[in-house]
Amino acid sequence: MKLCAFKSQSCISRRASVLIIVLWIAFGLVSVALYFAHSMGFELRSADNRVAGLEADQAIDGAARYVGYILTLQQQQQPGVIPQAGTYQAESLVIGDATCWFIGRTDQVTRAVAGSPSFGLVDEASKLNLNTVDYTNLQFLPLITPEFAAAIVDWRDTNSDVTIGGAENETYMRLKPPYACKNASFESVDELRLVFGADLEALYGEDANLNGVLDVNENDGDVSLPWDNHDGHLDAGLFEYLTVYTREPVNRTNGLPRINVTDTSATNRQQLALLFADKFTASRAQEILNAIPAAQPIRSVLEFYVESGMKPEEFTMLESEVRGATLEGLVNVNSAAAAVLACIPGIGTTNAPSLVAYRQSNAGNLTSLGWVSQVLDRNAAIQAGPYLTGLSYQFSADIAAVGHYGRGYRRVRFVFDLSDGVAKIISRKDLSDLGWALGRDVHQQLLALQDKRR
């Protein structure tokens, strides 16, 4: 009996052990299943994000083709004239499952954290050209030191003479690792990083994501990067105001050379007479020609316009067919920021706000250089003339996109050149790493879209 009882107890204990083992195994299997399910969930989400990213990449390339079409069409219809906002779609452009925006610039000065950037194409001629701007004018840009301005000039000039405060080969060869001073033109604005004395604060200013507006982290002091002065105003850096791309075409759309108004030779005057005869009645053409002094030098297109006595609408008819002495690095008064205009002799910090204010009150009606002579006095206009233009042939399209459900953010900035009559991409730079640049409003719209889906 005792043996039987013992056997039964041992039997129960064995069964209990088996049960525990089975329970452990079952627990283990469930854990493994849960682990794999969780990891598959992550894998699925990450694959979904990758697909959204690919959709955004493809949409950006599609949007770039759209921009090329818009610019070529504009060049054929109105050479050199900036495409007006509203004549093309610059925001919430739907391509397949993706949506695109062109991050633009505006004359409105941000005095508070902006809900969103402005949308549109950016005129490269709204900026100073790093390869042509001279040392004196360059120093008027915000956040630049005289030493950095001198180093910029030394970097691009072909000689090895050190500008006061600047840097040539001997300075660069002392760096670790050493490298040579370029002594040739800048090929991109990013090249500024290599110039002696460059620092991120001067290059980016407070605009860490380079979208032209004040984002929350750009106006919270040192709570989050970048450091800023928390004054409700965007203090942009040098990247905002500089370009290397501005170059006007040599020829008109009919293939003939543009007429250089600074050339006072008899042959050139004859060319002008033919141009006026082509555009105006015989008597008006003669009147304009007579107003332009034959012996006195004309230093710029603006001076030519002032002397000619043409009406603004008359000048618009032939503006793209004439040119000044230089074709590279001219600043377009129709789009340049006040900080850029302030660097130009004759304009300076005194006249730059008046020019911008005139633009703001005449928006949509600025297709020419002529209006400048209504804001600047004669002497100032003549002094500023050689640096100015009313035309633009290079534009950037800073395209940000998201894929389905607002995922897969990407951003690429393209620069288009129209100086040969057809839009060509001359630069492509991925800016996705700068982080979200579409502002609070678009972010909230996309979050609302995701909530609706849940």
Minimum CB separation of residue 118 from Ca ion in Å reads 12
Minimum CB separation of residue 222 from Ca ion in Å reads 6
What DSSP string runs through 226-275? SP---SSS--B-GGGTEES--B--SB-TTSSBPEETT---HHHHHHHHHH
Q: How many CB atoms lie within 10 A of CB 285?
A: 18
Distance CA 315, CA 70 (A): 25
* Two structure tokens written together for 193: 């990083």
Question: With respect to Ca ion, which residue has the nearer C-beta, 156 or 247?
Answer: 156
Minimum CB separation of residue 376 from Ca ion in Å reads 30
Minimum CB separation of residue 231 from Ca ion in Å reads 4
Q: How many CB atoms lie within 10 A of CB 405?
A: 15
State which of positions 54-113 bind Ca ion (CB under 5 A): none
Distance CA 109, CA 118 (A): 11
Question: With respect to Ca ion, which residue has the nearer C-beta, 44 or 200?
Answer: 200
Q: Of 70-78, 204-212, 348-356, 401-409, which part binds Ca ion (CB under 5 A)?
A: 204-212
Q: Are 332 and 129 in contact (CB under 8 A)?
A: no
Question: With respect to Ca ion, which residue has the nearer C-beta, 201 or 231?
Answer: 231
Minimum CB separation of residue 156 from Ca ion in Å reads 7
* Two structure tokens written together for 161: 């003479």
Residue 207 is a binding residue for Ca ion (CB under 5 A): yes
- 3-state DSSP: the chain helix, strand, coil percent, rounded to 5? 45, 10, 40
- For 230: left if phi > 0, alpha if psi spans -120 to 50, otherwise beta; the answer is left
Q: Are 398 and 411 in contact (CB under 8 A)?
A: yes
| Among positions 129, 137, 209, 373, the unique one binding Ca ion when judged by CB under 5 A | 209
Residue 119: what residue type? Answer: F
Kind of pairing, strands 98-102 and 394-402?
A: antiparallel
Question: With respect to Ca ion, which residue has the nearer C-beta, 104 or 370?
Answer: 104
Distance CA 340, CA 126 (A): 8
Question: With respect to Ca ion, which residue has the nearer C-beta, 52 or 338?
Answer: 338
| Among positions 99, 131, 211, 392, the unique one binding Ca ion when judged by CB under 5 A | 211
Residue 390, φ and ψ in degrees, nearest 5: -110, 5
Question: With respect to Ca ion, which residue has the nearer C-beta, 196 or 276?
Answer: 196
Question: With respect to Ca ion, which residue has the nearer C-beta, 154 or 314?
Answer: 154
Interface mask toward Ca ion for 117-156; x: CB under 5 A:
-------------------------------------x--
- For 296: left if phi > 0, alpha if psi spans -120 to 50, otherwise beta; the answer is beta
Minimum CB separation of residue 395 from Ca ion in Å reads 21
Minimum CB separation of residue 143 from Ca ion in Å reads 11
Residue 43: what residue type? Answer: E
State which of positions 163-202 bind Ca ion (CB under 5 A): 183
CA distances 326 to 263, 299, 300, 389, Å, are: 12, 10, 9, 10
Distance CA 306, CA 295 (A): 16
Distance CA 82, CA 304 (A): 22
* Two structure tokens written together for 441: 């409003």
Minimum CB separation of residue 348 from Ca ion in Å reads 23
Question: With respect to Ca ion, which residue has the nearer C-beta, 228 or 314?
Answer: 228
State which of positions 224-263 bind Ca ion (CB under 5 A): 228-229, 231, 233, 235
Q: Of 68-76, 137-145, 157-165, 403-411, which part binds Ca ion (CB under 5 A)?
A: 157-165
Question: With respect to Ca ion, which residue has the nearer C-beta, 163 or 260?
Answer: 163
Minimum CB separation of residue 100 from Ca ion in Å reads 19
| Among positions 48, 107, 191, 220, the unique one binding Ca ion when judged by CB under 5 A | 220
Distance CA 366, CA 371 (A): 8
Chain centroid offset of residue 153 CA: 23
| Among positions 57, 157, 240, 248, the unique one binding Ca ion when judged by CB under 5 A | 157
Minimum CB separation of residue 439 from Ca ion in Å reads 8
Distance CA 84, CA 74 (A): 10
Minimum CB separation of residue 135 from Ca ion in Å reads 12
Dihedral (Cα; 169, 172, 178, 181), 10-degree rounding: -50
Minimum CB separation of residue 320 from Ca ion in Å reads 34
Question: With respect to Ca ion, which residue has the nearer C-beta, 155 or 245?
Answer: 155
Q: Of 222-230, 244-252, 346-354, 417-425, which part binds Ca ion (CB under 5 A)?
A: 222-230
Question: With respect to Ca ion, which residue has the nearer C-beta, 206 or 319?
Answer: 206
Site residues (vs Ca ion, CB under 5 A): 154, 157, 183, 206-207, 209, 211, 215, 217, 220, 228-229, 231, 233, 235
